[in-house]
Each structure stands twice: as structure tokens, then as C-alpha cells.
Structure 1
Amino acid sequence: MPPAPSPGRGGDNRGRRSDRSGYQLIHRLAIDPAPYFRINHSGTRAHGVSHHPQGSHFEGGDTVRVRRSGSVLLAGVLLLATATPALAAPTDPLADFHQQQPSWSPCKAGSPTECASITVPLDYANPGGNRIRVAISRHKATDQAHRRGILLLNPGGPGGSGLGLADRLAKQQVAGVYDLVGFDPRGIGKSTKLQCTEVTGGPQVKNPTRPDDADLPTYTAWAQQQEHACQEAGGGLRPYINTNNTARDMDIIRAVLGEPKLNYLGYSYGTQLGATYGTLFPSRLDRNVLDSAMDPNKTWHEQDVDSVEAIGQNVNDWAAWVAARNNTFHLGTDAKQVKAGVEEIATALRTKPVAKLKDLAELDSSVGLYTRFRQGWAPLAKDLKAALDEVHGTGTADLSVAAGIARKRTLEKTVDGAYNTVLCEWDWPDERTSYRKMKQYRDTMPYGDAVGFMAPTPCAFRSFTRLETALPAKRDYPVGIVVQAEGDTQTAYPNGVAMAHTLGDNLISVRNEGVHGHYGSNTCVTALVDDYLINGVLPGSHTVCDPQQGPADIPPDTQRSAVAADIASLATTAQQIDAQLAESPAK
């Protein structure tokens, strides 16, 4: 069973602002404008805010100037916050945005889900300046008599389009009592888009999962080129594409839809976004679910290290499971022997093709992916034994289909401008530190994309001035739920435990599972979350769910004498996993 969160959950002071003095009066104002503006501890607006000239444009639609009175109102708000506490609350500087009337139309012909777009400030410190567009979708509650508001949805990423989530989750029970609301965050999809020019092909190295020392500078060159290309394509927009501004956009969505509060379901990076919204707007967040969560106390790079460790743990767990069933798989009686067999195949691949694998990267990505998904454990062991027999000259094997899927899902990444920009909210190690970690995992645990996780990133060479960084998480709103799988490699299990601990939320663990994103796919998780979102019934402080699909039901050698087992082919299992990933709401 996964460990429970440590005692005293939510009782420490990590993630809390040490000084909120500059906010105190503003938070007493009826319009509560403080979360929209960058304020330093003296109560004045932070320096370094840039403004675009009138008439500038971004891809995805023209930006529009609003009345200059907005700037005056902002100045007035800040002046009141520091000098005139006895005066009445000023006019809401975001009133123009809050009072929008979206023009709804079906997202696609015959669909009950409607789409529209709204405008939001490019820069919340200058709401009278340029506007950008945010695309939203809505599937109205089917039981209007019991409707309890909106459920805002985000799939993660960053860079994931959420416009289709309302339609995707419309068959869930929550669609009865909530308007399901999706959106494309700023910089993404049908919202004003930040589009980076891709540096073709990524780093060109012979063995990307096990690069030679001489190949490592290639990763730095690629990261620098990608950062330059992103800055060239969207440099004027990049300082404003960040988690805090997206959370502020969420609050405008809430206001435009006429709701005093929003309810929230976020997956993956969407958990960071949800926690940020709650930190900025605690009085406006009601029921909330963070599925496959990030650790709000760590940098993105530190969580990448956790992901690499999770890949290694999955490989070790798989090897131990296979070794306990040696009468079936014949790969060794302990985990060390099983992994030695994998490395024997890797050694052979350096000099000749094996099992129709093109290279080491196909082997390593296959081991990383199919040890994460437990239904892949038995087929992977079966096919690796066939590959090992081929190395020994006693058989043939074909891992090409499964390996192609694994390479696509593990190593082939689409460059996304919003992703590369949002990640720059965190600090990143320099290239020499990255090289040390790349060599460490190359030599000890090269499976999946472990080495790629440690490679230099474009954000290590950030070429724009970031106006804000990720906020410490704090909960002054109702207790919610964090869901986390034991074998998730996109957000590792300890990350979710840390999120639950920091916020004082209740934790649902999914044991022996590598899936990322569980609401809507795991029946145990879905039932618990539905009961909370619909009826307000929280599960216990730590509840454990079984996986939706665990390893094949093959008893260990100590529990049976028969050795025959009906094991699906790895190719078939790989195609099922590929389809499962395509349907997952979590990105």
C-alpha cells in the first residue's frame, strides 16, 4: 500500500507568504482586486512591467485597446491601498471584462456543448492595455433543478487544450449538476496563441537514451536554438504566459458566467494551476479535485528527478514480479538477473539488429513505457525473453510494433510555445549540472526518457524577463481531493502526497498503477470523486483504490505448479495502451 501523508498534514508553514501587509486593505475591498496585480511588500506595483505599443498584434486574433480610464483606476486602487484607507472602494478596473456577454454557438454541428471566446487583459498590472482572447466551452447541466454551478476543467500540460474536456466528460455523473466548462489557456489552441518555430528534429544523436559524452553539447545547442526560435516568434507575449495570469483568466471566466464561486477539476499541471487559483482567490473556490498532482514546493526540474526515480522504481517492481514467476518467463529468479537479460539485449543492439528493433532507444523506451502500465508487464517479459533467445541464436522475435509506439510516446515531443514559456517560471540547472545527471542515469537507469528528463532545457537559457514566478500554495478554501497513482512517471507519487500535505487535502492513492489521470477512467476514483463533487461527501483522509487494470493474473511460482499462461502479445497490449493514452483527459 502506498504510504499515507505524513502526520500533521497541512499544519506546517511551507508555501505560505511571509508578508501579506501590502494586500491587507485591498482584500477588504468589495471587488478584491489584489490577485490581479503584482504587488510588492510595500504595497506598490512591482517594477519591470513592460507595455506594448498601441495596435500591436499576436497570432490568434487582434489585441484591442480598452479605455485609458482603466489605467487610472488601477493607479487609484494602488494609491488607496497605501494612502487612503478610509475612502470607499473604487470602481472595479476589470468591470469591462467581467461584464462581457459571450456569443455562444455549438462547438461542432449537433453538439450540445457550446463554444465562445472572451477577452482578458494581456497584462493584469495594466488592464487598460492590450487584450487577448481566451476560448471557452460549456456543457450545461442536464439536471437544472439540482444545478450547483460550474465545474471548470483543465487537462494540464502546460500547453494542453481544455476546450474539448467539457464534451469528453459530459457522460460522467457530474454533468447532471454542473455546467462543465473547458478552456484553452492563454497562448494555446483557439485562444491567442504563442507559437514557437520548431528547431527541426530535436537533438540529433545516435542513441538518445544512452548518448555518448561527446553528444551532450548537442542537447545544449538544441535548447539554445529552441529558446531563440521561441523568443523570435512570440517574445512580446511570453512574459505574460504564466500560471498566475492563467489563474486570473479563470476568475474572469467565473465572473463572465455569473458565478460567485467556481468548482475545479484539474489534471497534471492543471493541479498546479488549481492550487494557484485557490491561493489567489480563496473566497471564490469551492469543491476542488487535483488529479495526478504536482508538488507545489519543488521546482519543475526537481519533479523531473522524481519522475526519473519513478521510472526506475517501475522497472525494479516489474523485474521483481517477473522473477517471482520464472517458471513462466525464464528470465531469472531475482530482479537483478531479469535486468541483466535486458542489458544483454542492449549490448547486442550496439552491433546488430535484435527483434526488429532499430536501436537502443527503442528498447529503452519500450522498457520504460511498458513497465509503467501494469497490463504491459507480462507481454513485455514474454517478448524480451524471445528477444534474448534471438541474441543467443535459439529463436526470433519482433518487437517493432510495440517499440514504435513506445518511441512515439516516450521520445518524440512536439515543441509548444506555451509549454516552453510556462516552464521558465522555475529555475533550471546549467548545462554542466545537466550533463552530470544525464551521465548518471545513462549509466544506471537509461529506460524511458530518463536521460532526456535531465537534458538542458530552453529555460536554462531564458531570453525574456519573467514578471512573476510560481506562487507558494496555500489553502484558505474548502478541503478538496488529491488523486495520485503509485507508478505515475509524469507526476511521481511523492509529488501528489506533497500536494495533499501542503494543502491539507484528502488523498486517494491508486496502488500498483502507472496511469496519469484517473477521474473518468478508474471506477473506484470516479465514484469517490463524484460523491464529493455532487454530494459534498469527502473520502477519508487517505483512501486506497485498486488499479483499473493490473498485471496479468499469473500466480508466483511459490503458489502453483503449472507453468502455462495465456499472455497477450506485446504488440496488442501496446496498441491498447496507445489508445488509452490518446483518450486520457490528462496531458
Structure 2
Amino acid sequence: MTASTSPDGRRRPHRGRPRRFTARAAAAVALSLAGALTVAAAPAAPRPAPDPLARFHDQDLHWKSCLLGPDDTTGKDLEQAGAQCADVTVPLDYARPEGRTITVAISRIRGTDTAHRVGALLLNSGGPGGQTIGDPPWVRSAMKDVAARYDVVGVDPRFVGRSTPLDCHWPTGSMIRGAGNGRAGFDRMTAFAADLARRCRTHAGDLLPYATTRNTARDMDVIRAALGERRVSYLGYSYGSYLGQVYATMFPGRTDRVVLDGVEAPEVYGPRLLRGTEEANRHALRGWADWTAAHDAAYGLGHTRGAVLATVNGIRSAAARTPLRVGGHRVDEHALPVVVFNGLSQDNPTAYGDFAQAVRDLRRAAEGRPVTPSPWLASTLEFMLTGHESVYGSAQTAILCGDVPAPRDPETYWRDLRRAGSRDQLFAPVTNDINPCAFWDPPRERPTTIRGDLPALLVNATGDPRTTYRSARTVHRDWPSSRLVTLRGADQHGVYGVFGSACVDSTVNAYLATGRLPSGDIGCPRPAA
């Protein structure tokens, strides 16, 4: 969402409606000498109920340096961009605002064009569980001249990043795994998922019920009020698009300009949100294979698409027989498909090259040769196979499981895997596998029923392998006042300010500048390489 404020002389949102007084004329045309006309005042309207969140809405934010220490690269980037940071106090449980509190960390780069100020632009980069506090510098760069009219605000949602943490002390940064090729592998993953859920109950059980998108939206409205804004603008990517839909539904009238990029349809969102992305991922894999075949001299993975895909399939088969040794890690049939899946969300030469290097390293490992993994593969394996990023995986899973209930019977997942695996042995075991939500306590609240319409700007690539183009079209259909900007011919997740499409970027910036949506939907061609 969005939020903005100025610590000196900030505007406060109007609290309640003004009292209205009505008058009843009781005319008594007397035959006396006075001949007076008397008027009786109606009883005053009742006073508005006290705001139970007043102490949060009216809090004074202490703005400070974003730099946490000499190794804080995010803080250095924010410092160079002129950002400041603050901690916003919010209730842990909005049903008991007088109880325990937590903090939500925000950053802000103030707008400089105060004469044409629009307000605050709140950011969410997705996940769930993704940090956004470091995003204002690059978002301002993407906004070009219009950035001066906004206070650009990055938010680490509750339990994420610099906010009060939720840590289940996992041995992994992600709950996502491949199920393997048989029942024995699936049973291992069922035990793995159950163990992750148990760790969360043990180490973070007091926080789990409050890790939800609805509570994150409530936090955003506290941020709006604390920043002194009546309405906020919002830029949300991926999961952030769903968060934007929830906020606009729960707090109608408090959004100004809304941009949702990589749009998640509400009926898709939940613990099994990757189901249905298999074809988009196969398409992305073929696109990468074409590029890699054209660069066979650099990577040696095959000079045709078919040869490159055969290399990937050979690595998958080898990992299913015996785990591959890559540096200090063992990459088995459960981890290998996730590495491939993680390599396919960005459609550009840098991301393609990183993934091609990783596949080259994995092929060498499959051949029994010693391997020192390339930087992208090393960081991916550290994320998946160590507890280095436990906080990320913990928060992401807690939000997904806390929002929407998942099937609890492992046999449901096994049946889905057998059906989908007959068509796809690489991605279906990832997108249909069981996860810790099968062993989670039921959500405390029902999922939000998203409002019927909102004049928002929606952005999506046709080949998005995470939030599919079908999802974007579904939200556009449900919000007839919205406009859809389509990037054609790209297997790209997240477009505005990321992909280098002048067509997309200029359309979004025009909307942010004027508040007027395009007269119709817009199709943007893939930029020339």
C-alpha cells in the first residue's frame, strides 16, 4: 500500500464525521402582540465511538539512519539515496489492541516536488515474506521525474526482514521441494513437511496465528495513519498484488493510485498457489534452452533446444539415482527440480547465463566430477539446504498457512501428484507436493472476499511462470474499471522497472503522474535484445 508523512507539521486524517445539526421550525403564529416564531433544535448526533487504535494511528515516528552497520549493503544503498527509516508499532492481535505489540520496519525517501505532491507510495515486492525496505531507491529510479511527487515508502511486513521476526529455526529457507518419483520419496517429503510444521509450533507458536495477509493489511493502514495520510498509493508485485487487493477491500476509500504487477488471482492464492503454473514453466524452460543453445560455445550444454533439454533431463535422472555432490551440498531428487524451477522466473541474458552456469555445474556433478558451484548456484543451494534463510521460509509459510486452509490428508497430494506427474516429471512434483500447511492449525479468519471493482493498473507478462497471465486476466475481468498492461512474448515475473520495457514503464509512470488510467488495455511488445 502506500503511506507518507512529514514529521514536522504532518497532516492527520480526519477522525469521524462532523456532527450535523438539523432544525425543526415550530411556528406558532400567535395572535399576541409578540407574534414570535420559535425554533427548536434537534438533539445532537451521538459522539463517534472512540478509536480503539488511536494510540497506533497517532504515534510519532522516530526517523533515523537506515544503516545498521558496516556490512549493511541495503542500509548503504538507502543512505546514499537519502532515505530514512522508522519502526511502526502495531498490535500483535488486532482483536486485542491493548495487548502485546510488535514493530514493522519502514524506509522512506521524501518527495522533493512539494507543490505537486501526490502523497505516499507504499511498496511490497512479494513473497510472501519478501523484504521491501530496500526497494525505494530502485523504484524511484524507475519512476523517473514523477518520483519527486511521492514519498516512496518501503515496508518489511510483520515478521519479515527488519520487522519483529518469526523464526521456526528450520534447516532450510524454503518449504518447497520436489516429491520425487515414487511413493517412498513422497513419504519422505510428508515427514519433512510435518517436521517443519512441528518446528514452527515449537519455536514460534505464539506468533503463528497472527501471521496473515489480513493483519499485514491492517498494519498498512496503521502506517498510513501514522504517516498522516488520508489515502495512499500502492505498488505491489506478485504476492504484493494479492495484498493490494486485500487492503483495498478491507479499507475502501483509502487507496489512491494502485499498480499491481505479476497479478495473483485471489482464487489461486493459498498454500498450493504454484499448481497450474506447470505449462508456463515448461514454456520458460524451452525459452531458456533456445538461448542456451545459441550460446553453446560458452556453456556446452547442446547446440539445439532438444539437446539442452536432454541435458537437463539427464541431470534429473542422475539425481534421482544418487544425490549429486556440489561443493558441500548433496542435491537429490527433491532439491534438483527446485533448482530448475528457481532458475526460470526472469527472462534476460544475465539470469539465463546464471542458470546455464548452474546446469553446467550440475552436469559435471552428475558425471562424478568435483564441482565448485557458480555464485548463483551456491547461493541457491545455501538457501535451500541450510538454515541460513530460515526466517524467510518461516514467515512465508506462516502467512500462506495462516491465510487459507490446505488439504490435510496426504493422500490428496499423492493422487494429484500421480495425475500431474504422468504429464510432467520435472515441475509437477514441485507444484503439487505436500507442504507444512497440511499439518497447520486452521486459520483464525476466513480469506478476504475481494471487492467487486477497483480502478487499478494491472501489469503482467504473457509467459509469467509464477503468477500466470490467466490470473491477471481473471482479476481484470472481476475489476471492470481496471486496465491491463500486457508485456507480450516474455517469460518474465515482474515487469515494471525490472524488465526494461519502455512501453510498460511509461504507461505506469503516466498513471502515477496523472491518476488517470489508459482509455483501454495496452499491449507492449517484448523489447529487442
Q: Check whether TM > 0.5.
A: yes
Match of 1:179 among 130, 137, 151: 151
Counterpart of 1:533 in structure 2 is 512
Counterpart of 2:501 in structure 1 is 523
Structure 2 CA distance for aligned equivalents of residues 204 and 265 of structure 1: 27
Structure 2 CA distance for aligned equivalents of residues 265 and 489 of structure 1: 20
Structure 2 CA distance for aligned equivalents of residues 116 and 325 of structure 1: 47
Cα displacement string for residues 453-502 of structure 1 (whole angstroms, at most 9, x for unaligned residues)? 32211111113x5321320211555x111111222222222122222222
Counterpart of 1:453 in structure 2 is 431
Instruction: Report matched runs for 1:101-500 at 5 Å.
Output: 101-108=60-67, 110-111=79-80, 112-171=82-141, 172-173=143-144, 174-199=146-171, 208=178, 210-301=180-271, 303-315=273-285, 343=313, 364=337, 368=341, 373-375=346-348, 401=374, 404=377, 408=381, 414-415=389-390, 416-424=393-401, 425-429=403-407, 430-447=409-426, 450-463=428-441, 465-475=442-452, 477=454, 479-500=455-476
The residue type paired with residue 94 of structure 1 is L
- 3-state SS of paired residue (2:189): helix
Aligned CA-pair RMSD: 4.3
Greater mean deviation of Cα atoms: 303-312 or 282-291 = 303-312
Cα displacement string for residues 196-247 of structure 1 (whole angstroms, at most 9, x for unaligned residues)? 1214698999xx5744321211111111111111112221222122111111
Cα distance change, pair 528–224 in 1 and its aligned pair in 2 (3 A): same
- 3-state SS of paired residue (2:140): coil
| Unpaired runs of at least 5, structure 1 | 1-27, 32-84, 551-587
Match of 2:487 among 510, 515, 522: 510
Counterpart of 1:544 in structure 2 is 523
Greater mean deviation of Cα atoms: 248-257 or 363-372 = 363-372
Q: How high is the TM-score relative to the length of structure 2?
A: 0.74
Report deviation, 1:336.
7.8
Cα distance change, pair 86–125 in 1 and its aligned pair in 2 (3 A): farther
- 3-state SS of paired residue (1:118): strand
The residue type paired with residue 427 of structure 1 is P
Structure 1 CA distance for aligned equivalents of residues 295 and 58 of structure 2: 64
Report deviation, 1:438.
3.1
Identity over aligned pairs, percent:
34
Instruction: Report matched runs for 1:15-54 at 5 Å.
Output: 30=17
Structure 2 CA distance for aligned equivalents of residues 196 and 353 of structure 1: 27
Cα distance change, pair 493–105 in 1 and its aligned pair in 2 (3 A): same
Q: Which has the larger radius of gyration?
A: 2
Structure 1 CA distance for aligned equivalents of residues 232 and 99 of structure 2: 27
The residue type paired with residue 17 of structure 2 is A
Cα distance change, pair 296–128 in 1 and its aligned pair in 2 (3 A): same
Report deviation, 1:440.
4.2
- 3-state SS of paired residue (1:170): helix
8 Å Cα contact 1:159-1:418 kept in structure 2: yes
Structure 1 CA distance for aligned equivalents of residues 431 and 180 of structure 2: 13
Counterpart of 1:98 in structure 2 is 57
Report deviation, 1:529.
0.6
Cα distance change, pair 275–213 in 1 and its aligned pair in 2 (3 A): same
Cα distance change, pair 446–411 in 1 and its aligned pair in 2 (3 A): farther
Report deviation, 1:545.
2.0
Cα distance change, pair 356–519 in 1 and its aligned pair in 2 (3 A): same
Structure 1 CA distance for aligned equivalents of residues 360 and 269 of structure 2: 42
The residue type paired with residue 431 of structure 1 is P
Report deviation, 1:338.
7.5
Report deviation, 1:373.
4.5
Cα distance change, pair 349–432 in 1 and its aligned pair in 2 (3 A): closer
Report deviation, 1:145.
1.9
- 3-state SS of paired residue (1:305): coil
8 Å Cα contact 1:136-1:183 kept in structure 2: yes
Structure 2 CA distance for aligned equivalents of residues 185 and 483 of structure 1: 23
Report deviation, 1:97.
1.4
Structure 2 CA distance for aligned equivalents of residues 299 and 204 of structure 1: 16
Cα distance change, pair 255–438 in 1 and its aligned pair in 2 (3 A): same
Cα displacement string for residues 145-165 of structure 1 (whole angstroms, at most 9, x for unaligned residues)? 221110011111111122112
- 3-state SS of paired residue (1:153): strand
The residue type paired with residue 246 of structure 1 is T
Cα displacement string for residues 12-51 of structure 1 (whole angstroms, at most 9, x for unaligned residues)? xxxxxxxxxxxxxxxx9639xxxxxxxxxxxxxxxxxxxx
> How many equivalent residue pairs?
460
8 Å Cα contact 2:262-2:493 kept in structure 1: yes
Greater mean deviation of Cα atoms: 125-134 or 299-308 = 299-308
Greater mean deviation of Cα atoms: 313-322 or 417-426 = 313-322
Structure 2 CA distance for aligned equivalents of residues 421 and 307 of structure 1: 22
Structure 1 CA distance for aligned equivalents of residues 202 and 159 of structure 2: 15
Structure 1 CA distance for aligned equivalents of residues 105 and 216 of structure 2: 12
Cα distance change, pair 295–412 in 1 and its aligned pair in 2 (3 A): farther
Cα distance change, pair 267–379 in 1 and its aligned pair in 2 (3 A): closer
8 Å Cα contact 2:156-2:162 kept in structure 1: yes
Report deviation, 1:511.
1.7
Cα distance change, pair 265–412 in 1 and its aligned pair in 2 (3 A): farther
8 Å Cα contact 2:108-2:151 kept in structure 1: yes
The residue type paired with residue 493 of structure 1 is Y
Matched, 1:88 2:47: yes
Structure 1 CA distance for aligned equivalents of residues 271 and 96 of structure 2: 32
Report deviation, 1:254.
1.0
Report deviation, 1:355.
13
Q: How high is the TM-score relative to the length of structure 1?
A: 0.67
